[in-house]
Amino acid sequence: MYKKLIAALLKRGLQALIVALIVGLVSFAMMQALPGDAAFRIAAGRYGYDLMDAAAAEAVRQELGLDRHWSLQLFDWLKALAQFNLGESFIYRGSVSEKIAVQLGHTLTLSLSALFVSILIAFPIGIYTGLNPNGWADKFFLQLSIFVRAIPPFAVGLTLVLIFSVHLKLFPVAGFRSFHHLILPAFTLGIGMAAVSNRVIRDSVLEAMHSDWQLFSRIKGLPSGLTLRAHVLRNAALPSVTYIGVQMAYLIEGVVIIETLFAWPGIGHALIHAIFGRDIAMVQGTALTLGLIYVGLNLVIDFLCSFIDPRSAKS
């Protein structure tokens, strides 16, 4: 049992390492590829466009060593990373890790709330349509799912803002001061995920209901409700949870956009701002953290799956 646990941790640990390297390299390469003078933009970010000049840009260039060959800059960043040091922000005072430590909490709050919302929506719909396949509800939710999934997350977010903030005035347009602020962004992300996962859950439930063991459970005498609870749902949960793991990529991608849209001060929001400001250290740090969140969430899914299905753990 412990051997399996350690093996799983090692596997994800290695994955985290690879993710860190790739994310670091790719984000660095993309920042280098951007046109224009980085030092100029960084100086503008620090002092404002009106208060800066060529001399300030030159000072920034010297200070950050931006005139060095790109390979040296990358090497420095990797060396610091190996010592668990993400460096200093190019624009704001303070280290990247300090900033991320604050933002991480906001991002996790939003991601987990979105996940919770998606589960809250997808499971009841998926179970109901799986138990009543080809009924009106099944057909309705199929169409709705296709419709919702076809809209990009930011458009879903804008629509929700228009309806619930602008017209109904139920929730704030943006910001993060209270629980109220959390609801719209969490629903925007959650609805997008639920649009697909409710169909996966529906198919899993349907398949379980057609299994030999489901019928045998009834024939040996268990009533339908008990069969559903004790057998069908657990078996159907396995592919559903695995699929939710697959959706983590959608979640991470969505967080970046939705945080920006709702001015939610998380890592995604910070990433976008860092890109605009050419804050290379911040970009690398935030992208890296998002990658690691992805790996971490998948690790949680791994454990959930082996908890539901002990076969994989023992065979």
Q: How far apart are CA 11 and CA 198, in angstroms?
A: 30
Q: Can you give the binding site for another protein, defined by CB under 8 A?
A: 211-213, 215-224, 226, 230-231, 234-235, 238, 308-311, 315
Task: Using the minimum distance from each CB to another protein, give the nearer residue, 129 or 260.
Answer: 129
Name 88's bridge partners.
95
Q: Residue 95 in 3-state DSSP? A: strand
Closest CA to 102 of 303, 282, 310: 282
What's the Cα-to-Cα distance from 199 to each of 68, 196, 241, 244, 249, rounded to whole Å? 53, 6, 13, 12, 18
Nearer to another protein, 217 or 240 (CB): 217
CA-based nearest residue to 196, from 266, 139, 272, 247: 247
Taking the least distance from each CB to another protein, the nearer of 139 and 229 is: 229
Neighbours of 93 (CB within 10 A): 8
Contact between 43 and 60 (Cβ < 8 Å)? yes
Complex with another protein: residue 109 or 211, whichever CB lies closer = 211
Shortest Å, Cβ 309 to another protein: 6
Amino acid at 103: Q
Residue 131 Cβ vs another protein, minimum distance, rounded to whole Å: 14
CA–CA separation, 64 vs 57, rounded Å?
Answer: 11
Q: Give the span between the Cα atoms of 87 and 274, in whole angstroms.
A: 14
Nearer Cβ to another protein (57/237):
237
Task: State which residue, 149 or 218, has the beta carbon closest to another protein.
Answer: 218
Single-letter amino acid, residue 127: I
CB of 212 to another protein, least distance (A): 4
From the CB of 244, what's the least distance to another protein, in Å? 18
- Coil vs helix vs strand at 88: strand
Nearer to another protein, 51 or 226 (CB): 226
Q: How far is the CB of 39 from another protein (least distance, A)?
A: 60
Q: At closest approach, how far in Å is the CB of 236 from another protein?
A: 11
Cα diameter, the chain: 85
Q: Is 139 helix (H, G, I), strand (E, B) or coil?
A: helix
Kindly state the smallest distance separating residue 217's Cβ from another protein, in Å: 7
